[in-house]
Structure formats: C-alpha cells, structure tokens
Amino acid sequence: MAGLSLPARHVVALLVAVVSVAVFVVPTLANASASGSPSSLPRVPLFKKRVTLALVRAVLRERARQLVRNAGSGRRVANEGDDLEPDHVALNNYLDAQYTAEIGIGTPPQTFRVVMDTGSANLWVPSRKCRFSIPCYFHRKYDSGSSSTYEEDGTDISIHYGTGAMAGFLSRDVVTVGTVAVQHQGFAEAMKEPGTAFILAKFDGILGLGFMEISVDRVTPVWYNMVEQRLVPEPVFSFWLNRDTEGQMGGEMVLGGVDPKHFTGEHTWSNVTRRGYWQFAIDDVTVDGESAGFCQHGCSAIADTGTSLLSGPTAVIAEINQAIGATGVISQQCKQMVTQYGPMIVDLLQAQVDPEKVCQQVHLCDDGENHLKTTTSSSSSSSSGLGVMEVLVEHGEEEVKGRAWELKVVGDNEPLCKFCETFVFWIERQVKLNKSKAEILEKLDKLCDHLPSPRGESVVDCRKLDDMPTVSFVISGKKFELTAHQYVLRESQGGQEECISGFMGLDVPPPSGPLWILGDIFLGVYHSVYDFGNERVGFAPATPVPT
C-alpha cells in the first residue's frame, strides 16, 4: 500500500530493534529453582497500561511521567553467607514495544528507565553534561556530582546504530536493579544520543544482558558483575513478557532463576552457537506445516528482548506475507524485474546452472558474491540489513563491538543484485517441484505483491485473522507455533482498526546469515531462560497472568 506510514508503536519498536539486534549457568533448570524457591529469587515485574489512541498521541507529544519509586531502599550488597531475599521492581511495558526497568545509579540512587536488552551488553544513560544533543533534554540525566560513590574514568566511548551514534565517556558507580546493588559498575554517560528518533523513546538508556564479547570497549556487563559479586542465587535469568492487553502486569524478569508460575511444561534447550548475542540454531521455519525451505544448510536466530518484531530473510518473509495476505509497497519494482529477467533466470536454473552463478550470468551481480546463501557459521558475528531495496550491514573493524552497525549501500548494482538473488531462491524451489516456466513466472509475480516495504511494514485484513496460517519455528526438534492473533499487530487509526504483519524483512549476508531475530512477539508467547554457564537458551509456553 503506497504511502503507508508505520504506526507510532512500531516506529518505537523499530527504534528498539536498531538499538538492540546472559547468564553463567546452572547444571539443570531444576537446580536453578531448587536452590531457592521462586519466592526467594530477585524478580523484576512489568506492569502494563491499557493502550488508547489518545495515549499514543500523548506519548508522541510528551515525556513519560517519571516513576517515584526509590530504587535504593534496602539495597543488597555482597556479604558472605547472606541469604538472598526476593525483590520486586516496578517496570513498564510500553505498547508491547518496549519492556523497561527502573534502575538506580549512584548514592543516593538516581533513577533511570532502561530497556532490558538481551541483544547488547553495555549500560548507558544520558549525562548531565549532555547539552548539545536534543534527545538528552527529553530524558533523565546522570549527575556524577550528586553521587558519593562516583568513580571517574573518562575514557571516550562510541556505539554506532543505524540511526546514528551514542557518544560519551565511561564512569563507574553503584548500579541498583531492584535491591541488587552492583559495586564499581562501569557504564557510559551519553553526551550524544543516536538520532533525533530518541526524542520519542520512552526509555532513558539501555542495560545490555548479552555476552562480554559484544561489549563495546570490553566494559564488564552488569550481569557479569552480579554473578561475580555473588548477588544472585544462581547465574541464570529469565523473562516472562505479558501480551495480554487487559493485564496490569507487563511481565517479569527473574534474576537468578525462574518462576514456575510463568510457564507450563518443560523448557526446550538450544546451545548458544556464538558467544555475543543469545544466538542459537533453528532447524526450520514452517508455514501451515510446510517448510519455508530456507534452512536446508542451517539457520541461526537471536533471542532479543530489545526487539519487538520478528525479523527474517526477506525472501521467506515475502512467502509468509503472501500466505497471510499481507501487502507491501515495492511490488511494482519487483514485477518489472520479473518481466525483464524472470524468463532468463528460469531458463538457467532449469538448465541446472549453479544458483550462486545465475545472477552474475544475467549481469545483475558483479561482485562475485551471493548475499543470500543458506550457509551459516556458528562462530560468526551477527549483522543486519533492511530489505531487498535497502542497505547491507558491514561490521568491518567493529565486529566485536556489539551492535556497532554501519549501514551503507554496497555499489550501484546492489538493489538489483538483491532482487535477483531473492528470485533465484524462489525459482530454485519451484524448479525442484517440476513446475513449468509459466507456472513459475506466475508464482513469482504473485510473490512480488507481498514483499515487505523497506521500512518493514505490511498490512493484512483484520477480518481474516482466523483464516491465516500458523507460522512455526523448529528449535531442537520441537515446533514453536505462532497463530495470526499472536503475530499480527492490531492498531486503531482514525477510528478504524488496522492490522500489520509482525514479520519484517531483514537480510544478513554470509557468513553471519541467514539470521532470524526473535523479538517480543515470540518471547511473549514463550517464556525464555538464559543460562550462561551451559551457554544455552530455553523456551517453554508462557502462562497468562499468574494469580
């Protein structure tokens, strides 16, 4: 649909996704909860407000009200032999797009609302010294002069995102999450926030829960220090994200274990395939039980609490969007490509030309590389792209620095090359099914109608949710299903309901890709456990609001 604008909550959602794309472990999940009953674990409850159009508009105009809870009351510090007591900290779930916690920094604690992000590893908040970056004026700022436990560092730090860069300097202070007080924690005081889009963000900063390997400048993550300072009963944490729009609790993060009230059955475990993000292998992606065909040689996924949507290879997202009747906004360009190059590509593949060489032979790819190979590396770093007409991600020397993503266009032929490689993926599957040339071109033309727009959004018919297929992710041999009511996002726009596909095209070139990012749409349906010592992540069906 031409001219479609992304709803407010998803502008924020994409912002979080860009900012964001833990943890030493217990021998078994049973041990994680056995060492202390669920009531003895530190926990971070999230509370949800009912979303109305008026609220959305107000959020775009005004700052969120600051919470008044004193995060420093009864803070826990490391003392040998201390029993760890339960802890509840009020958190916000903003529009199912941001799950944030109220933390304290300094003595007495200065409170900040931060995204609890499994897709990054650094902590940063705005600095009181930030005077020339407009977003800083819309958020709470850390004042080192008001803290008796402040320790000067001063090292410059910069974290790059698609919307810009966070630039500032390092400091150390006491960081309090609930009643857990982490001593001498390094964090960044932001002097420049990454883009004016942060004016709209309902969080002040980010608290990363990823591995040290992606920590910019190797700053020790907050979670590592919690474990090292023996502030949690077990080196494991878990997330329960409530997607019930009628519920008051937005969810809960449990530090040091799990809460059995938050899930049913047993967790299915998958080993971390690359230390950095919580990255693991997925066996397949299916639509109504049929394989999408993109993981024959393996696929990787990231469990990312800092991302609200589900992102995956554009070619697969287009097929999913076709199955659910979603429409994008770049179909005309795609159809022109089908008319001009489709017959040649079909002929070459039917003649059994190497699929990786086809786009070179039709002179649409000139770099000798295939960006949509279905090979993956278990030790590679992750990156991101934004659809077939958009830019690729290049890590370069920033590879080990977390989400230091530099976005750029790679050559004049790049968009055409990406289109071609997407076509090759689609056509190759049809050739294997012995489809005729006419059938293949007709199928290709229809798929063009369902490519996601460069910004990711695709609209579906709200009246047909019950008829839409189930989309499943196969992890460690087990299917994790999502129904249309779970993966379609419903909005009220101008008094009318609008439904948007929760799937966003994202092309990650080899060796890092193909890559899926399982954000809050998935993590709201499935309770997640992050087990660092065994380097694995677990999923189980999430329960409704615990009684």
Q: Over the stretch 477-488, which tens digit does the pLDDT of each residue have? A: 999 999 999 999
Q: Are 174 and 221 in contact (CB under 8 A)?
A: no
pLDDT attached to residue 131: 86
Q: Which of 29-43, 209-223, 408-422 shows the highest mean pLDDT?
A: 209-223
DSSP-derived secondary structure letter, 497: E
pLDDT attached to residue 513: 75
Residues ≥6 apart with Cβ < 8 Å to 37: none
pLDDT attached to residue 3: 34
For residue 246, pLDDT beyond 70: no
pLDDT attached to residue 347: 87
User: Are residues 59 and 78 located together in one domain of the fold?
Assistant: yes
- Whether 288 is catalytic is no
pLDDT band at residue 346 under the 50/70/90 scheme: confident
pLDDT attached to residue 43: 60
Residue type, 273: T
Residue 358: count of CB within 10 angstroms of its CB = 26
Residue type, 237: F
pLDDT attached to residue 362: 82
Higher-pLDDT residue of 161 and 101 is 101
User: Are residues 214 and 322 located together in one domain of the fold?
Assistant: no
pLDDT band at residue 417 under the 50/70/90 scheme: confident
Q: Are 530 and 236 in contact (CB under 8 A)?
A: yes
Point out the catalytic residue in the list 259, 304, 507, 531: 304
Point out the catalytic residue in the list 117, 204, 259, 284: 117
In a domain, 37, yes or no: no
H helical segments located in 286-330: 314-324
pLDDT attached to residue 160: 78
Higher-pLDDT residue of 391 and 370 is 370
User: Are residues 63 and 194 located together in one domain of the fold?
Assistant: yes
In a domain, 373, yes or no: no
For residue 393, pLDDT beyond 50: no
Residues ≥6 apart with Cβ < 8 Å to 482: 310, 470, 471, 472, 473, 521, 522, 525
Averaged over 375-404, what is the pLDDT? Answer: 29
In a domain, 243, yes or no: yes
pLDDT attached to residue 50: 39
Of 261, 294, 309, which residue is a domain's last?
Answer: 261
User: Are residues 181 and 230 located together in one domain of the fold?
Assistant: yes
pLDDT attached to residue 422: 75
pLDDT band at residue 193 under the 50/70/90 scheme: confident
Per the listing, tokens 């099914």 go with 433
User: Are residues 226 and 268 located together in one domain of the fold?
Assistant: no
> Tens digits of per-residue pLDDT, 105-146?
999 999 999 989 998 999 999 999 998 888 888 889 999 999
pLDDT attached to residue 475: 96
Q: What is the average pLDDT value for the chain, to the nearest integer?
A: 74
CA 523/CA 389 separation, integer angstroms:
29
User: Are residues 182 and 267 located together in one domain of the fold?
Assistant: no
Averaged over 307-311, what is the pLDDT? Answer: 87
User: Are residues 62 and 211 located together in one domain of the fold?
Assistant: yes
pLDDT attached to residue 99: 82
Higher-pLDDT residue of 85 and 278 is 278
Mean pLDDT lowest among 260-274, 391-405, 409-423, 495-509: 391-405
pLDDT attached to residue 314: 83
pLDDT attached to residue 415: 61
In a domain, 372, yes or no: no
User: Are residues 293 and 183 located together in one domain of the fold?
Assistant: no
For residue 523, pLDDT beyond 90: yes
What CATH number should be reported for the domain holding residue 297?
A: 2.40.70.10
For residue 399, pLDDT beyond 50: no
Query: Residue 519 is part of which domain span?
Result: 263-326+453-547
Of 204, 235, 261, which residue is a domain's last?
Answer: 261
For residue 77, pLDDT beyond 60: yes
Report the percent of the chain where pLDDT is more than 70.
68
pLDDT attached to residue 35: 40
User: Are residues 222 and 273 located together in one domain of the fold?
Assistant: no
DSSP-derived secondary structure letter, 435: -
DSSP-derived secondary structure letter, 510: T
In a domain, 388, yes or no: no
Averaged over 144-153, what is the pLDDT? Answer: 96
Averaged over 156-170, what is the pLDDT? Answer: 83
In a domain, 54, yes or no: yes
User: Are residues 117 and 186 located together in one domain of the fold?
Assistant: yes
Q: Are 202 and 98 in contact (CB under 8 A)?
A: yes
User: Are residues 242 and 281 located together in one domain of the fold?
Assistant: no
In a domain, 106, yes or no: yes
Strand partners, 471: 287, 482
Higher-pLDDT residue of 322 and 176 is 176
Mean pLDDT lowest among 162-166, 274-278, 464-468, 520-524: 162-166
CA 356/CA 361 separation, integer angstroms:
10
User: Are residues 217 and 321 located together in one domain of the fold?
Assistant: no
CA 264/CA 286 separation, integer angstroms:
23
Averaged over 199-209, what is the pLDDT? Answer: 87
Averaged over 226-242, what is the pLDDT? Answer: 91
How many domains, the chain?
2
Higher-pLDDT residue of 102 and 38 is 102
